[in-house]
A and B are shown apart, each in its own frame.
Chain A
């Protein structure tokens, strides 16, 4: 995995297309093949009561890759993301149709414990949401609820180092996490998610509340983490998807014959291909900024 910095120092030659700035376009790279997908999504639909918000999604998500879900507001990309760790279960009346397999196991099988699912598939939210506790306790919370009592000091340090936050907070571990800046809070939330060593990290627009510098730090961190973790990120920011992801899925909202809006997967491709030679007109219209 190459980081943003490597891209800048040694930009690979890439094909050109309208829409994205040249600096981003020339950094697009071929992603490894999807030989051993961690998630297999087959004909997945999500219902809120009687309303079908997302219809018929099929996709495979690669291990230790970054997969981006992009699309206009209301296209169901966050809804789809929340299926991967069963966070949709928390909204009464939500139902998932079709099948999502995680390492070959049906995520929505009868004997699957959603709590166990969430221990293995972590999540970072749109707005930084640290607990109103110390930085240390924020990181230690996940391990603690999982029954880990000993070695927490080492675990906290190791986690914060992995999240590239250690140097900034090592002298104030007992301070309230809410005293950190927005960007630091979000990196703390990422650190908190990796403290329980999940296999996947889901990120729901993690940078939408942050300034460009904080965003760049999080993107760097994502590139680092992708060496060990599978990351699925929802983003509004196409350049972000192009910068960080291996594969990109473009979803959009369409009207069915009855005039009901629903979210639909239009195109799922290697990021380098989707942003340069999209095969669907709707994708091209979106990435060139003609709608959305």
Chain B
């Protein structure tokens, strides 16, 4: 049987049809981008212009003052923020990474308890931060008797970012090709040697990036810390993990509550500092990612 293909029409001009939807879609996509970026630019410039009057050394050299806005600074809040982020990283990175290693490299994903853990980790990442604040207050500050201290705040924020750290570390581990594991195991390496010497080093950039981004979420948190003692007016730097403390978001919130316009300027200036810290952390994340980027 011979099938005949439809014949081509006699060659015509190659002029295209008009396709109005194509430019329309492009326009819609571009408009969305412009809205997002424009909003961000307006916000940033507003804060910067508002705060520019007080973006000077007084901001990080002086302590808060309720009476004299011209003398007030945010040193205790800046130091408190750095402390809390450092401690939070210290607590959540080892636990988060080891959890991720267990789930990715050791756990049998078919077992019901491992799947339950997985599901819960994902759900925990979506729990509102204020819930963690209540948990921290009830269990860590009061139950464990840690009190409303720097330690309680760092532990609570660690719980808050832990699911995000676990999820991003798992993604980084999953991105390491299985062929590397096989190569290592075929040389008689044990599963732990394979994980520690091949998989983990290859996943470090991804883990670091994810962790820094998770920590930069924690840095802006005010809600859980409101419950954990960060509301007070602190005129000294925390020296000890059992000290009282304040952080930038709380300090900003306190200043905005004040009636005097000078305090509002001060708040904007503090926002710029907070954004600078965030920007610095994200730059480190990007640098790490590019520095250690692997090709397989």
Interchain CA distance A162-B21 in the complex, whole Å: 64
Please encode chain A, from 192 to 204, with 1 for each CB lying within 8 Å of some chain B CB and 0 for all others: 1100100000000
B197 touches A145 (CB 8 A): yes
In the assembled complex, the CB of A180 is this many whole angstroms from the nearest CB of chain B, namely 13
Please encode chain A, from 179 to 213, with 1 for each CB lying within 8 Å of some chain B CB and 0 for all others: 00000000001001100100000000000000000
List B residues 213-258 near A (Cβ within 8 Å): none
A: interface residue count bin: 20 to 34
Please encode chain A, from 121 to 133, with 1 for each CB lying within 8 Å of some chain B CB and 0 for all others: 0110101011110
B188 touches A129 (CB 8 A): no
Interface size of B by CB at 8 A reads 21
B187 touches A90 (CB 8 A): no
B187 touches A92 (CB 8 A): no
Q: A131-B198, A145-B197 are in contact. Are A115 and B186 (CB under 8 A)?
A: no
Interface stretch, picked from B6-14, B160-168, B177-185, B276-284, is: B177-185
In the assembled complex, the CB of B178 is this many whole angstroms from the nearest CB of chain A, namely 9
Q: A92-B110, A132-B296 are in contact. Are A196 and B179 (CB under 8 A)?
A: no
Chain B residue nearest to A202 in the complex (CB) = B186
The residues of A that contact B179 with a CB separation of less than 8 Å are 125, 127, 129
A87 touches B198 (CB 8 A): no
In the assembled complex, the CB of A237 is this many whole angstroms from the nearest CB of chain B, namely 21
The residues of B that contact A123 with a CB separation of less than 8 Å are 182, 186
B185 touches A118 (CB 8 A): yes
Output the residue of A85, A122, A131 with the most chain B CB within 10 A: A131
Is residue A119 within 8 Å, beta carbon to beta carbon, of the partner chain? Answer: yes
The residues of A that contact B108 with a CB separation of less than 8 Å are 92
Which listed residue, A116, A132, A142, A178, touches B187 by the CB 8 Å rule?
A: A142
Is residue A277 within 8 Å, beta carbon to beta carbon, of the partner chain? Answer: no
Which listed residue, A90, A92, A196, touches B185 by the CB 8 Å rule?
A: A90
A118 touches B188 (CB 8 A): yes
B188 touches A142 (CB 8 A): yes
B187 touches A192 (CB 8 A): yes
Chain B residue nearest to A128 in the complex (CB) = B179
In the assembled complex, the CB of A121 is this many whole angstroms from the nearest CB of chain B, namely 9
Interchain CA distance A142-B189 in the complex, whole Å: 7
Q: 7 A–B contact pairs at CB < 8 A?
A: A85-B186, A120-B188, A122-B187, A125-B179, A141-B184, A141-B197, A145-B193
Residues of B within 8 A of A (CB): 108, 110, 177, 179-180, 182-190, 193, 197-198, 202, 294-296
Seed contacts A85-B186, A125-B179; 10 additional CB < 8 Å A-B pairs:
A92-B108, A92-B110, A115-B189, A122-B186, A125-B182, A132-B294, A141-B187, A145-B188, A178-B296, A192-B183
